[in-house]
Structure 1
């Protein structure tokens, strides 16, 4: 059988040309790949920013998380991390928002917008506690687990201590007033439980805690009343009398002093007599 050598040579030349072209394309692709990361990072950031401005928080979350994962030291990394806290917050991912804020504060303590991270961390804790005066009375909220409440109080307190002139500090101060009263009320709920159980020393300690840690709270006068009852339960009449005198001096119109006696021993009449 006769072989067509001319056709064979032609096929070989075509194959070689194809391989060379492929190598050329691969080399070109490799060169593009070297410059692609910067372009990709910027594109991701712009897409994330656009989605954030449009309220498309899921899309913004995906883009910003991609930057945080793929370009942790890129030009837009710090701003992306900061905006990621806000996106978590808007998506209702309170724990993720707090974790991201804490991470940003740890990694970038001197960042010019680190006060914003503190503020968002506090807001996330605030929301995690589901503080809604329109739907729940303060007394109802006070009976719940105060973990998130304490976190928010600590976060906002740290913000105003570190950055008293921050644009976020005025709002933080207002929230602290509410949180302080809430935490104090919670402590008194626990103290009242101890009184009902006859655990008078524990009740006194709770009342003392409120006075020492939340001296500006509305419940400090009620804390004095709790302490009076606790001291009487312990048989410490002199301490009860002294505490009652402080209560009368600071809050003569307290509900505990009018129309109601201190349980369980009617100490009000006894101490005054």
Structure 2
């Protein structure tokens, strides 16, 4: 045992062996370099700062606009980003940040557009351009909405962003389009609920199915899915033997959508059990449609920006 209490072969390299290994490695890496180049007392190279003056913010901004006009969205974005780096307190910094959001959006770089628009809103909440930044934010989420069979996190984020736009800037020029996009996004969420509800119905998990269809009639009444949701509620409640709710769902469907093919199906289903549509005013289904007015027709697909 050594003085350190460890066997000799566990003490690590001896100083002489360590130096030899370092020299060998240096020779391998350095080829024909001399040993003098390893002298630790050699003076290090003096750092010479780059004395090139930064490009003026106005020039960067104009260069960004020129690239954008030529169709080079990515190059334009880099120019606008450089303004924030070289002149963060210049009058062009705010404009550059907004244009960064816009150019990234144009290049379908959604995450970068989201980050830039959020920064602009946080730093310039009272700016006349804040509504536009909020619109870019909402549309960046909206353009990532997947089909109704997949996770709808982006759909929910788009809805939240559009709702914030309408709440903060109700008179902005983007308000009307935001309302239309909201309807489409909500229709997408309703479609997701319907897909899951149908699956549960097929598997005879009637309670799970009812919960999904209930979400549609309460939260998404202006979507194209509400008629089918009422019919599916009729079907699920009939299967469960809860005829009162089945009759109410069919009655509400017939009252609000008398020409719907879904109402005809619901009516036939009730008749097969010797029943007729009859609304129970105390039912949650009836309460959900009190004061209801359908303002939107069928929605097909997702309209992009």
Taking structure 2 as the reference length, what is the TM-score of the superposition?
Answer: 0.67
Deviations 1:209-245 (A, max 9, x none): 1122222222222221122222233332222222222
**What is the aligned partner in structure 1 of residue 120 from structure 2?**
104
- 1:118 equivalenced with 2:134 (yes/no): yes
Residues 151-181 of structure 1, C-alpha deviations (whole Å, 9 max, x = no match): 2222222212221211111222222232232
Q: Which runs of 5+ in 1 are unaligned?
A: 1-25, 131-140
In structure 1, the residue matched to 2:29 is: none
3-state secondary structure, aligned to 2:230: helix
Give yes or no for contact 2:74–2:104 (8 Å, CA) kept in 1: no
Contact 1:146 1:183 in 2 (8 A): yes
| Residues 251-270 of structure 1: pairs in structure 2 closer than 5 A | 251-258=257-264, 266-267=269-270, 269-270=272-273
**Does the aligned pair in 2 maintain the 1:153–1:176 contact within 8 Å?**
yes
The residue aligned with 2:207 is: 201
Distance in 1, matches of 2:122 and 2:241, equals: 51
What corresponds to 2:188 in structure 1? 182
- Find the aligned partners of 1:259 and 1:237 in 2 and give their Cα distance: 16
Q: Secondary structure at the match of 1:76?
A: helix
The aligned counterpart of 1:66 is: 82
- Report the alpha carbon displacement of residue 119 of structure 1 after superposing the two structures with TM: 0.8
RMSD: 2.6
The 5 A counterparts of 1:14-163 are 36-37=53-54, 40-129=56-145, 141-163=147-169
Q: Report the equivalent of 1:272.
A: 275
Does the 8 Å contact 1:257/1:268 carry over to 2?
no
Q: How many residues align?
A: 228
SS of the residue 1:203 aligns to: helix
Aligned counterpart, 1:17: none
Higher helix share: 1
Helix, strand or coil at the partner of 1:272: coil
User: Which ranges in structure 2 are unaligned for 5 or more consecutive residues?
Assistant: 1-47, 277-305
| Equivalent residue runs for 1:219-238 within 5 Å | 219-238=225-244
SS at match of 2:143: helix
TM-score using structure 1 length: 0.74
Segment drifting more, 103-112 vs 175-184? 175-184
SS in 2 for 1:161: helix
Q: Provide the rounded CA distance (Å) in 1 between the counterparts of 2:135 and 2:60.
A: 26
**Matched residues in 1 for 2:83 and 2:192: separation?**
42
Deviations 1:123-148 (A, max 9, x none): 21222226xxxxxxxxxx33333232
Q: Is the 8 A contact 2:231 2:265 kept in 1?
A: no
| Kept after mapping to 2: 8 A contact 1:224/1:247 | yes
| Deviation digits for residues 10-65 of structure 1 (CA, Å, limit 9, x no counterpart) | xxxxxxxxxxxxxxxx9xx97xx7xx45x532222221122122222122111112
**Counterpart-to-counterpart distance in 1, 2:199 and 2:61:** 53
The 1-side partners of 2:198 and 2:271 are apart by: 17
For 2:270 and 2:261, locate their aligned partners in 1 and report how far apart those are by CA, in whole Å: 14
Deviation at 1:93, TM superposition (A): 0.6
1:260 Cα deviation from its structure 2 partner: 7.4
Does the aligned pair in 1 maintain the 2:227–2:262 contact within 8 Å?
A: no
Aligned to 1:23: none
